[in-house]
Amino acid sequence: MSARILELRARPRAWAVLARGMEERRPVIAGYHGSARLLCPHVLGWRAGRAKALSFQIAAVSSAETTGYESERGWRSMFVDEIEDATLYDGTWTTPDDYAGPANGIDVVELAVEVPGPRGLK
């Protein structure tokens, strides 16, 4: 029998905010690669030793935009150490119908939103 040993890893600063957003089902507003993004995080884990998040992006705006949020809805896989200024946001949580749990791009899942009902995690 072989045992799988997971090394302890330091969690990036944004991890705690993303985890709290998942727990409370509250969106998170954060910067990522020059854009402000409104996210609903669904999975937190690790990929090749780096913290990674799968979030449903409700909206984003590039730093060059001045007119407000563009509609760029969809799933985003992001390295957590590249997320800046993460803050909980008082808005509506979104879980699209196509969410089925932990996703590609994350090797080791630590936290995942569970959706009750027929489309829930298996």
The pLDDT tens digits of the residues spanning 8-48 come to 578 999 999 999 999 999 999 999 998 999 999 999 999 99
CA distance 23 to 37: 19
Note the pTM of the prediction, 2 decimals: 0.81
For residues 22 and 73, the model is more confident at 22
Give the DSSP per-residue string, the chain.
-----PPP-PPPTHHHHHHHHHHHT--EEEEETTEEEEEEEEEEEEETTEEEEEEEEEEEEETT--S--B---EEEEEEGGGEEEEEE--S-----TT--SS-TT-SEEEEE----STTS--
> Using alpha carbons only, what angle is made at residue 63 by residues 33 and 82, rounded to the nearest 5 degrees?
20
Which of residues 59 and 41 earns the better pLDDT score? 41
In terms of DSSP bridges, do strands 28-32 and 35-47 run parallel, antiparallel, or are they unpaired? Answer: antiparallel
Region 69-80: mean pLDDT is 81
Burial class (CB in 10 A: 0-12, 13-18, 19+), 111: middle
Q: Is the pLDDT of residue 7 over 70?
A: no
Quick check: 119 pLDDT over 60? no
